[in-house]
Amino acid sequence: MRIEIDEISKQFGVTAALHPVSLAIPSGALVALLGPSGSGKTTLLRILGGLEFPTSGRVLFDGQDATGLTVQDRRAGFVFQSYALFRHMTVFDNIAYGLAARPRASRPPKAEITRRVTKLLELIQLPDIGSRFPSQLSGGQRQRVALARALAIEPRMLLLDEPFGALDAKVRKELRQGLRDIHDETGLTTVFVTHDQEEAMELADLVVVMSMGRIEQIGKPQDIRARPASAFVQSFISA
Amino acid sequence: MFDIAPTFRPVTTETPVARWVLTGLAVAGIAVLVAAPLIAVFAEALAKGIGAAVASLGNRDALSAIKLTLLIAAISVPLNAAFGIAAAWFITKFDFRGKAFLITLIDLPFSVSPVVAGLCIVLMFGANSLAGGWLVAQGYPIVFALPGIVIATMFVTFPFVARELIPVMIEQGRAEEEAALTLGASGWRVFWTVTLPNIRWALLYGVLLCNARAMGEFGAVAVVSGKIRGQTATMPITIEMLYNEYLSVAAFSMAAVLTLLALVTLLLKTALEVRHADALAANHRH
Amino acid sequence: MGRPLIHRSPMPGLGLSMGITLTMLSLVVLLPIGALLLKGATFGIGNIWDTVNRERVWAALFLSFRLSFFAALFNLVFGVILAWVLVRYRFPGRRLLDAAVDLPFALPTAVAGIALTALYAPNGAFGAIAKELGLKIAYTQWGIFIALIFVGLPFVTRTVQPVVEEIEREVEEASATLGASRLYTLRRVVLPMLMPAALTGFALALARAVGEYGSVIFIAGNIPLKTEIAPLLIVIQLEEFNYDGAAAIGIAMLLISFGMLLAINLIQVWSRRRIGYV
């Protein structure tokens, strides 16, 4: 799905988290929102997911105005920084949650839910952990379960907030490849937020560098490396 | 009434209607269940004017009840505070087997009916028990006398101070005390200069609750006091006696005095929660 | 390889703090409870059973438990709503409402008892309204029910409040992004997270209500077989200097209280094991 961000701004009280920003994300792209904390990247991601609402501006999905669409109707697969797994539910129930929450008319039958959860567990390469609780999983496993849970609702896009933030260096590298594979397999438009320029450059097709609520530069990793648009970008990517 | 509504409702809250309904339920419930009895106490006390209310507190039996209740609190609260500090120190500064069991035993009085507590003390120290009989023979009766009331009061208020201090002292750890010890401070010095300043607000909080319960205890005291007017009748016992004699103004006037005490307790408690939240057990920080 | 009973520690005051703790615990709590159990043992299980197994005693025990259970159930529902409103919503008077929740803890039970009776007696403010509707509250089981709600009111709210505070917003947001309506989120995500704490509060309120005396006897009417609570039976036995009978009913109540204490601990252990927190 194609995503367009049209002059979006966001005020929290008197402080501006986002000055009007515009951005077009082609269908099927893997995009990184890169910037230091306070740059507005997470706010932008949350606006895309319908968790915050912009003070002004529009969000378009495939050319359709989606600004007023509720979070439930957006069908954005969202992976939280803390993963936000439901700790009183098994991994299976976590992944099945979005399907079970549908109104009766559109809810798949039980056997179909089971089939889809099993398939997702295979996709994240953890076929045997369905009956465990989140507290019994490692950090990397939790991240993959959160990803599977987001994919279960057959989302129109995948939004990830610092998906590797809470992991150690080795697991980080493995899961990067895992995300790339899942993106390539599903073909979903994917946006992830990171403060790690190496991660953004290595993983994304398109990198959006942000600072102080503004977009500093949009470009392919190699272009940003070769021709940083501002002193900020220059210093941030060489850090 | 609520925050200025944004154009779009935040995801993690209910619709305004649901919020109004739930808030309304909460307020109405507290108004009927808590505020109404509170108002009733003062309304009944002042039914024949403030003069009658004050006069009813001036007679000898009423004054003796007030004095007795103050005396009981003055003995049992410091003793329980001392116990609470000692128990919290023992439990949080040392590692030993059976710690969880000890904590359960300390909490035990909260799950025993006050009447059963009074019964236990009557059976332990009553004139026809072994210990009680001997004490009576020596001229020191426990039951139907001040010591019995004090023990009964201590029983029902036993866990208050300890259960405030234990979580706070666990959270604070032992590092500061260990530092003081390495600097050559003696045990008492460490306690007075390091531990006590750190736990003083939690201690005050526990003492406050302990005191409110000590002055208001009814069931356990009713069993052990013998209800001798002018001698072993505490304020709550006197309220019962006056009420049963249809002396409504007198009963509610004394009840109003205890209610004022409860209100002051709540005020101080809330002030502690606001001002010194970081020094209290985590579940009091709201 | 047994663990040592007490680990060596550089901390001072082991002897003193242990001495005070164990001595006072024994004198004030353990020995008196022991005296009750000893009395029971000398009286004999058969005699205890004969004392308890009478219509009037069963009626009182059953009444105490039934009404305590329903009062605790009421407090479970109301307490969760109250905790949610107090933590999540901002409105004028919130702090006052928060402080008012603790009044039943602070107000002496005898005061609560006569105040509730004054309110719900046929000539009282609420009792008069009930009378208009053809209902009688004071001196019936309804009166006991209301008094037991009053004494148990703070427990659920106070155990649930800190848990509501700790819920990560992200978990609720995650539920919403997965398409769940707010009601579904509350039902399937929020409530299950509050349940262990709410059940703990429920058990505490139940334990308190079962043993409650002061706030109930004024409003109860105390009619044998109808509105006579179990603690009152003990008091009546004592007034007749029937220590054996009092001890028998006391032991029955003590056993029931211990059972509930055990249940509270099991709930906590179970929830900690299952979801890693209480």
pLDDT at C16: 95
The pLDDT-based confidence of B10 (bands split at 50, 70, 90) is: confident
Spatial separation of the C-alpha atoms in residues A170 and A172, rounded to whole Å? 5
pLDDT value of position A86 = 94
Assess whether pLDDT exceeds 60 at residue C278: no
Give the model's pLDDT for residue C276: 53
| pLDDT for residue A167 | 85
> What's the mean pLDDT in C265-278?
67
Q: Least CB-CB distance to B86: which of C17, C81, C238?
A: C17
Q: Is residue C200 part of a domain?
A: yes
Note whether residue C35 is domain-resident.
no
Q: Is residue C71 in some structural domain?
A: yes
**Which among A154, A156, A152, A196 is positioned nearest to A175, based on CA atoms?**
A196
Do residues C20 and B146 make contact, with C-beta atoms less than 8 angstroms apart? no
Chain A residues within 8 A of C273 when measuring between CB atoms: none
Query: What CA–CA distance (Å, rounded) separates A56 from A39?
Result: 18
Cross-strand pairs, C41: none
Q: What tens digit of pLDDT does each residue of C67-110 get?
A: 999 999 999 999 999 999 999 999 999 999 999 999 999 999 99
Residue C218 lies in a domain: yes
Pairing of strands A206-211, A214-219: antiparallel
Q: What is the pLDDT of residues C208-224, one digit of tens each?
A: 999 999 999 999 988 88
CB within 8 Å of chain C, chain B residues 196-255: 209, 212-213, 215-219, 222-223, 235-237, 239-240, 243, 251-252, 255
What is the domain class of B60-284 according to CATH? mainly alpha
Using a CB-CB distance cutoff of 8 angstroms, which residues of chain B are in contact with residue C91?
Answer: 1-2, 23
The full set of domain ranges for chain B reads 1-45, 60-284
A40: helix, coil or strand? coil
Helix H or strand E segment including B285: none
Rounded to the nearest angstrom, the minimum Cα separation between C3 and chain B is 8
Residue type, A199: E
Check B8 against A71: CB less than 8 A apart.
Answer: no
In degrees, rounded to 5, the angle at the alpha carbon of residue C119 between the alpha carbons of residues C118 and C125 is 120
Q: Is residue C201 part of a domain?
A: yes
- CATH number at C211 reads 1.10.3720.10
Q: State the first-to-last Cα distance of chain C, in angstroms, to the nearest integer.
A: 32
**CA nearest to A52 within chain C:** C173
**Distance between C97 CA and the closest CA of chain A, angstroms:** 28
pLDDT at B29 over 90: yes
B2 contacts: CB under 8 Å, gap ≥ 6 = B16, B19, C89, C90, C91
Tally of domains within chain C: 1
Please give the C-alpha separations between residue A117 and each of A91, A94, B275, C156, C272, in angstroms, as whole numbers: 10, 9, 50, 37, 27
Q: What Å distances lie between residue C211 and A158, B280, C151, CA to CA?
A: 56, 29, 11
Backbone angles phi, psi at C198, to 5 degrees: -65, -40
pLDDT tens for each residue of C185-205:
999 999 999 988 998 899 889
Decide: helix, strand or coil at residue B277: helix
What is the structure's pLDDT at A239? 67
Question: Mean pLDDT over residues C148-172, rounded?
Answer: 94
pLDDT of B153 above 70: yes
- With beta carbons under 8 A apart, name residues in chain A contacting B7: 53
The predicted pLDDT at position C2 comes to 59
In a domain, C105, yes or no: yes
Relative orientation angle of helices B248-275 and C109-120, to the nearest 10 degrees? 120
| CB-based contacts of B267-270 (< 8 A; 24+ apart in sequence) | B267/C99, B268/B208, B269/B205, B269/B208, B269/B209, B269/C99, B269/C102, B269/C106, B270/C95, B270/C98, B270/C99
| Residue ranges in chain A modelled with pLDDT below 50 | none
Task: Look at residue B4 in the predicted model and tell me its pLDDT.
Answer: 36
What is the spatial distance between Cα C38 and Cα A214, in angstroms, rounded to a whole number?
79
| Chain A residues within 8 A of C183 when measuring between CB atoms | none
Residues C230-254 have a mean pLDDT of: 92
Q: How far is A229 from chain B (nearest CA, A)?
A: 36
User: CA B25: distance to chain centroid?
Assistant: 29
User: Which of B1-15, C29-43, C70-84 shows the lowest mean pLDDT across its residues?
Assistant: B1-15
| pLDDT tens per residue across span B192-244 | 999 999 999 999 999 999 999 999 999 999 999 988 888 899 999 999 999 99
Structure tokens at B86: 């000692």
- Chain A CB contacts of B11 below 8 Å: 50-51, 71
Of the residues A47, A53, A70, A72, the best mutation for testing chain B's interface (the one with the most B CB atoms within 10 Å of its CB) is A53
Q: What pLDDT score was predicted for residue C10?
A: 83
pLDDT band at B64, cuts 50/70/90? very high
Residue B107 has pLDDT above 80, yes or no: yes
Letter for the amino acid at A208? V
Question: What's the pLDDT at A174?
Answer: 85
Please give the backbone phi and psi of residue B229, each rounded to the nearest 5 degrees, phi first.
-60, 135
* Among chain B residues, CA nearest to A67: B8
Q: Which C residues 148-187 touch B at CB under 8 Å? A: 149-150, 153, 158-159, 161-162, 165, 169, 172-173, 176, 182, 186
B43-82 residues touching C, CB cutoff 8 A: 44, 79, 82
Quote the pLDDT of residue C268: 73
- Which of left, alpha, beta for A31 (phi over 0: left; psi -120 to 50: alpha)? beta
Q: Is residue C239 part of a domain?
A: yes
Range of the domain at C105: 55-275
Q: Is residue C144 in some structural domain? A: yes
Name which of A10, A43, A52, A58 to mutate to probe chain B: the one with the most chain B Cβ atoms within 10 A of its Cβ: A52
pLDDT value, residue A14: 85
Cβ neighbours of residue A26 closer than 8 Å, sequence gap 6 or more: A2, A189, A206
Separation of alpha carbons B70 and B63, rounded Å? 11
- Does B11 sit within 8 Å of A50, measured CB to CB? yes
**Whether pLDDT at B74 is above 70:** yes
Q: In what order do the strands lie in the sheet with A3-12?
A: A15-25, A3-12, A56-61, A64-65
